[in-house]
Amino acid sequence: MKKNINYIVLVISILLVVSCKEKSNYSKIETPQTDSKTTVHKIVIDEFIGGGTYAYLNVTENNESYWMAIPIMDVKEGGTYYYNGGMVMKDFKSEQLNRVFEEIIFVEGIRTSEELMAKPQNDGHNHTQNAIADVVEEVVKIEKAANGIHLNELLSNKKAFAGKEVILKGKVIKVNNGIMEKNWVHIADGTQFADKKSITITTQELAKVGDVVTFKGKVTLEKDFGYGYVYDILLEEGKLIK
């Protein structure tokens, strides 16, 4: 794995916009497209728009205001928070809000302490590992789909499967919809290889956490989405098999 994707796009399903403000009230974030994961940002939340699983925040940092997006959590307007890393996206359209953000930064989460907690560095979606670890542990071994394989078979021989289509059946443990015009579905089937117990699938299909689904997709290795972020393995162009 070249670089862990600690802070890749998680984001955004919002039910409702409250009091949309003029663009002139917000300045662009003056940070590079990729931000060092060791850089600590101190922000004050000026506005919180939440709904569903994720939330938009308008924040102030060093007298500059900008938009950011995080998984939903308890935060207070006017409160001071900290975060590390993040990824800036330009001209991002939120389908749920029917709104285009000229610039928005996606962050895995914010915290009340400046101190950064140590995190495992073991796969291309480490930003999800703490959140889904318990769910993965509860997934019992799921029977293979017709003509399918188990996750451990894929992970233990991934180079042989590279570029090929495979069929995987598993339980949905996390979903991020509408990111980079894709839905990101994480599944586990109760098998593992080298401590990796789940895989990410990019798709146009819709799935819900807790569903047992069967996907057919192309195995891709070392996928670079830009911004210095690389997946070691994922399934692309996933199609649900009924």
pLDDT tens readout for residues 56-72: 899 999 999 999 988 87
- Does 25 score more than 50 pLDDT? no
pLDDT value at position 220? Answer: 94
Digit-coded pLDDT (tens) for 112-130 = 888 654 433 334 444 444 4
CA–CA separation, 208 and 104 (whole Å): 26
DSSP strand pairing (40-51 vs 54-61): antiparallel
Closest CA to 79 of 50, 54, 55, 110: 110
CA–CA separation, 159 and 221 (whole Å): 8
pLDDT value at position 54? Answer: 66
Is pLDDT larger for residue 168 or for residue 104?
168
- The answer to whether the CB of 12 falls within 8 A of the CB of 181 is no
Determine the 3-state secondary structure of 168 from DSSP: strand
215's CB contacts (< 8 A; 6+ apart) are 167, 168, 169, 185, 187, 201, 203, 205, 235, 238, 239, 240, 241
Confidence at 19, pLDDT banded by 50, 70, 90: very low
Confidence at 55, pLDDT banded by 50, 70, 90: confident
pLDDT value at position 136? Answer: 59
DSSP strand pairing (99-106 vs 64-71): parallel
- The answer to whether the CB of 241 falls within 8 A of the CB of 214 is yes
pLDDT value at position 37? Answer: 56
What is the rounded average pLDDT of the residues 189-218? 92
pLDDT value at position 187? Answer: 93
CA–CA separation, 160 and 156 (whole Å): 9
Confidence at 159, pLDDT banded by 50, 70, 90: very high
pTM given for the model? 0.51
Digit-coded pLDDT (tens) for 81-111 = 999 888 888 888 776 677 788 898 888 888 8
Of 30-34, 105-109, 193-197, 232-236, which one has max mean pLDDT?
Answer: 232-236
- Does 34 score more than 50 pLDDT? no
pLDDT value at position 75? Answer: 86
Structural domains of the chain sorted by starting position, each given as residue range(s) with its CATH number in brackets: 26-106 (2.40.50), 126-240 (2.40.50.140)
pLDDT value at position 52? Answer: 56
Average of per-residue pLDDT values in the chain: 76
User: What does the DSSP assignment read for 189-233?
Assistant: -S--BTTB--EEEEESS---TT-EEEEEEEEEEEEEEETTEEEEE
* pLDDT over 70 percentage in the chain: 69
